[in-house]
Structure 1
Amino acid sequence: MTDHPSTYRADPENVGKIDWDDRASLHLKDDGDGVLDSMKRLRSGTFAELISQVMAMPAEDREKYVIEKAGDREFSAGEIEGLSKRDDFPA
């Protein structure tokens, strides 16, 4: 997994590209976030691994989960599905 800043010398890095190897965690959609949020994660891994895990679930179950990516960005089930269909998504 990568663990580097998204900018270098104030120039954005990899504009428009997704870092599939970035750290991420799987959470229940309504787990309350908060100070103890990291303790509520169900799984952790790379962003691509967690997208694959969510997409392996039955469609009706996917809505219950979000993926939190480095930088406190949450991805909903619809966004996860869209990412899984990108041409650059690792197989």
Structure 2
Amino acid sequence: MIINKVTLYGHAWNEMRNFYVDVLGFELLSQTDDAFEIKAGESVLEIKKYHYKDKPFYHFAMNIPTNLFTSAKAWAKSQVELTREEDDDEVYSAF
């Protein structure tokens, strides 16, 4: 399956924009008062402001080619603190 565009909603819109664009360095494709879009590989990730009381929560992953995993992890670790599970910062999932 090829995913061209994914739209997610967030209550911390400015923080999410700063994280993806300023911290992780994703290319900002467009921005309005209520949304922004970034380039994620061959896809577009759109984040829209969520205007209701409850706070949406998403978890998604981006595939990294096996031969680039070590360098991608080192780069990510230099930008943010990696999450840990059972004192390990790598978790394998067949899914």
Q: Into which bin does the TM-score normalised by the smaller protein fall? A: under 0.3
- Tell which structure's C-alpha radius of gyration is larger: 2
TM (norm. structure 1) is 0.26
